[in-house]
Chain A
Amino acid sequence: MIIQRSDEVPDITLLKRFPVPRNFGVSAGSRIGKGRTWPAPGGAARIRRFDVYRYDPDSDGNPRIDTFHVDLDDCGPMVLDALIWIKNRIDPSLTFRRSCREGVCGSCAMNIDGTNWLACTRFISDLATPATIYPLANMSIIKDLVADLTHLFAQHRLVEPWLRSRTSAPERERLQSPDERHRLDGLYECIMCFCCTSGCPSHWWNGDRFLGPAVLLQANRWLTDSRDEATGERLDDLEDPFRLYRCHTILNCTRTCPKGLNPGKAIADIKKMLIERRG
């Protein structure tokens, strides 16, 4: 009932999904059709069913859900292992991003059983039956589980995620006290996997103008940096009904962060900074 850490897998839920029609607000080209069911591997003792979102840009077909059966005795323990197993053994055209396989790079962020997480750090044993794998929610899809992140990186660029200084460059590096450095803890660790932004209902409805939790966490990271000298301009840029204030403190972001960060708190701190500078 009381979730303490974001890596806790919800095991008691009254509703698996919100009671809205499957095609509620979905454009014709985004509707999900029936896909293919691949036969279960022969001779396997432990089998788990995976329903995976597929989209092939080279055909005229709509997105669809394919069903795969994974032999757990032949496969590693994580969801990413299962996807690689499917790609190697069943359908080589299954497309997804992955790199580090240890929760550091953020490439394999996807919607697993209805919440966003990294495929490499979620255990297959924690999945529902059947397991459902979708790409990150509310994203423009390039192929299968690969989302187009162009817009999100453009939003990231908007907050100018680099050190801005007015004073001339010093002879040596700009120094920070250990205390000033510690203020960046919980902000700098973000791996930009966009689990939070993709899980934010406010970003679903206003993503064209609302910056979303991942980018606002980064905005806070540069506002908090003791070496940055553009705090005023940064706050000016954020003081906007859409860029910042479309955050309605829903806090899906904090619930879903695979790194255990707190974007909701970071955004609230920006709002506080804006109030405090009014005096």
Chain B
Amino acid sequence: MPSTPTDRPRPLSPNIQIYRPQLTSVLSIANRMTGVALAAYAVALVAWLVSAAAGPAAYTTVQSLIGSWLGRLLLLGCTFCFFLHLCGGIRHLAWDAGYGFSLRAIYASGWTAVAMSMTLTALTWVVGIVLAGHGQ
């Protein structure tokens, strides 16, 4: 026998399972995820500093980890996270001051944040590699 409508709780219509990802929501979640990643990278930074304080042996080990293929990839990720979070933070500063709320401005600043974080990441690495080359 079918139950009466009041017998069972009403279903909840799907939300994140069906809602289309848009620049607005994607950059918002990206800002959060890069923030979490940067917190983890901060721990790694402390580990690097501790190894430097602990002595040459520990420092060499950590340096070789950072210099490995995976270490460099993580470092690249760190740079990108840093710049995306920075650009996102600047957008939020403008919003908190009451600026940039037209849809046009939201999308223009959003794509600018994406493009700038990629450019700045590339620039940082080019400069870093050139400087490292000069150091040798």
Contact = CB atoms under 8 A, between A and B. Distances in A.
Interface of A: 1-6, 10, 13-18, 20-27, 29-30, 32, 53, 55, 57-60, 62-63, 111, 113-115, 132, 134-142, 147-148, 199, 201, 204, 248-252, 254-255, 262, 264-265, 268-269, 271-272
B2 interface: yes
B126 to A, nearest CB: 26
Interface residues of B, number: 36
B55 interface: no
Contact of A139 (B13, B23, B98): B13
A271 B96 contact: yes
B107 to A, nearest CB: 5
Given A3-B107, A63-B11, A141-B13, A255 B19 contact: no
A127 B98 CA distance: 34
A2 B96 CA distance: 22
Contact of B12 (A30, A114, A115): A30
Interface string B81-115: 00000000000100110100111101110010000
Contact of A60 (B3, B15, B20, B98): B3
15 contacts: A5-B103, A15-B21, A23-B17, A26-B14, A57-B5, A114-B18, A114-B20, A137-B15, A140-B12, A141-B12, A201-B15, A254-B24, A255-B24, A269-B98, A271-B96
Contacts of B14: 26, 30, 32, 134, 137-138
B22 interface: yes
Given A17-B17, A26-B17, A141 B22 contact: no
A237 B22 CA distance: 32
B17 A24 contact: yes
Count chain A CB atoms within 10 A of each CB in B14, B103, B106 and give the residue with the most: B14
Contacts of A249: 28, 92, 95
Contacts of B107: 1-4
Nearest to A55: B11
A60 B7 CA distance: 10
B9 interface: yes
Contacts of B15: 137-138, 201, 204
Nearest to A128: B20
B134 interface: no
Contacts of B22: 10, 13, 115, 252, 255
A147 B13 contact: yes
Nearest to A145: B13
B12 A111 contact: no
A13 B47 CA distance: 40
Given A60-B3, A140-B10, A4 B104 contact: yes
A17 B13 contact: no
B4 to A, nearest CB: 8
A251 B112 CA distance: 17
Shortest 5 CB-CB distances between A and B: which pairs?
A: A114-B20, A265-B101, A138-B15, A57-B5, A30-B11
